[in-house]
Amino acid sequence: MAATIPTETITLEAALEIARTTLAHGQAQKMKPLAVAVLDPRGALKAYLADDGTSLLRLDIAFGKAWGTLGMGFGGREFARRSAKAPSFMNALMAASDGRIVPAQGGLLIRNAAGQIVGAIGVTGDTSENDEACAVVGIRKVGLVPDTGDPA
């Protein structure tokens, strides 16, 4: 039996709108400056935006949150849980990924209505919970489904 392969990918327009909306929500909530990376299902950077005042490593952190969710197939909440339960596995995963994975909230899979992964987002700059909340708003704005790593 053939595996189901996602046939859709996030569009550039949707990726940019998600990033813009994510930043706007953070600004409206008076959060610290945010950085947002949106990746396609292959892990390629589709869009990156950052508020004025973000620090140097924010691109790497945002990318690492998104890239890790794609690589493992679950959102940042599940990543955080697994990291706490199995630190030796996380150390091995970090080594295998050359340190690119950031296992924390604020990394979410982006799904279409059929449940297929069409991309991922990583948000960083405020608390991980706030980063995630902003990402959820951005993803929903374009009619896609956020996957935080918790059951729906």
Is residue 103 within 8 A of residue 74, CB to CB? The reply is no
Q: What pLDDT does residue 8 have?
A: 87
CA distance 26 to 7: 32
**Mean pLDDT score, 73-98:** 89
Q: pTM above 0.95?
A: no
Q: What pLDDT does residue 90 have?
A: 87
More confident residue, 95 or 61: 61
DSSP string over 41-59:
TTS-EEEEEE-TT--TTHH
Q: What pLDDT does residue 18 have?
A: 98
Q: What pLDDT does residue 6 have?
A: 45
Domains of the chain: 12-46+56-146 (3.30.450.150)
Rounded to the nearest 10°, the torsion over CA 124, 125, 129, 132 is -40
**Residue 64 pLDDT > 90:** yes
